[in-house]
């Protein structure tokens, strides 16, 4: 049997500064192990987001100018995105996308930019400083270690119902204070990891992919994913 997932790349034409589309390409690679394909729609300005259409959503990062534009349009999708997240729809939000799923973030010039409050975090700004460098975290639930690169001015503080993607072992993470990095809320994952995160962290890629597949095909067996071990950063070339 062949399986199909429909993915929404939210504002992929504006919020893809760090090659975040690579996260979907990594998932496509792993999906082949269980005869699954992933179709991708760009959902951008003035487009509708239908929570019943999509099995996975990617929300990447961008510069402040693009995020200001996206913030305004995002309010028109607030109800649909919140419904999708609350229903357990798998989502990966990176940097600016992570910030805008929360209540608000403060831009580099001090302006308050609205999120949609689908998650209960908020983001402040640092004065003339950024968190830049390699980062390593450990997920408390699985014991898995994730590796990445962070580059952000924002400092994010998690809220009700949220838990971190991992505890910081090296680097700064969400805010440089509480050793949290990223967020998990239901089946939504957020992070400041660029790179992209799923190409470098096979276990996380397969975790999110299985969530999407099992949600759509609850009676299918996707154990073959657990037996697949590839390092996409070394020996695999992914083609869209």
**Is 121 considered catalytic here?**
no
Q: Name which of 5, 10, 7 is nearest 93 in CA terms.
A: 10
**What's the mean pLDDT when you consider all of the chain?**
92
- Residue 107: band (very low, low, confident or very high) from pLDDT cuts 50, 70, 90: confident
pLDDT band at 110 (very low <50, low <70, confident <90, very high): confident
Share of the chain above pLDDT 90, in %: 80
Q: Which fold has domain 3-225?
A: Rossmann fold (3.40.50)
Is residue 95 part of the annotated active site? The answer reads: yes
The one catalytic residue in 9, 103, 152, 194 is 194
Cis, bond preceding 4 (omega within 30 deg of 0): no
* Average pLDDT rounded to a whole number, residues 105-130: 92
Q: Which residues contact 62 (CB under 8 A, 6 or more apart)?
A: 11, 14, 15, 16, 17, 70, 95, 96
Q: Is the pLDDT of residue 24 over 90?
A: yes
Q: Which residue bears the tokens 């070339």?
A: 237
* Per-residue pLDDT tens over the stretch 180-220: 999 999 999 999 999 899 999 999 999 999 999 999 999 99
Structure confidence at residue 63 (pLDDT): 80
- Model pLDDT, residue 230: 61
Q: Confirm whether residue 130 is marked as ligand binding.
A: yes
**Tens-place pLDDT, residues 49-81:** 999 999 999 999 888 788 889 999 999 999 999
- Annotated catalytic residue, options 95, 103, 121, 152: 95
* Beta-ladder partners of 41: 8
Domain boundaries, given as residue ranges, for the chain: 3-225
């Amino acid at each position: 049997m062949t399986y199909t997932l429909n993915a929404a790349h939210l504002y992929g034409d504006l919020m893809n500064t760090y090659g975040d589309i690579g996260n979907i390409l990594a998932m496509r690679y792993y999906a082949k192990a269980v005869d699954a394909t992933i179709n991708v729609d760009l959902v951008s300005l003035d487009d509708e987001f239908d929570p019943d259409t999509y099995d996975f959503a990617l929300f990447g990062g961008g510069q402040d100018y693009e995020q200001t534009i996206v913030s305004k349009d995002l309010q028109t999708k607030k109800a649909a995105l919140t419904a999708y997240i609350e229903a357990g729809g798998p989502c990966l939000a990176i940097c600016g996308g992570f910030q805008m799923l929360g209540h608000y973030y403060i831009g580099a010039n001090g302006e308050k930019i609205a999120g949609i409050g689908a998650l209960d975090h908020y983001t402040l700004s640092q004065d003339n400083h950024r968190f830049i460098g390699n980062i390593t975290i450990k997920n408390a639930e699985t014991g898995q270690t994730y590796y990445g690169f962070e580059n952000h001015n924002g400092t994010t503080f998690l809220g009700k119902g949220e838990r971190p993607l991992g505890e910081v072992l090296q680097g700064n993470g969400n805010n440089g204070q509480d050793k949290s990095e990223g967020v998990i809320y239901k089946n939504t994952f957020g992070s400041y990891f660029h790179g992209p995160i799923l190409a470098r962290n096979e276990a996380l890629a397969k975790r999110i992919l299985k969530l999407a597949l099992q949600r759509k095909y609850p009676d299918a067996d996707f154990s073959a994913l657990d037996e697949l071990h590839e390092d996409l950063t070394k020996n695999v070339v992914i083609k869209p």
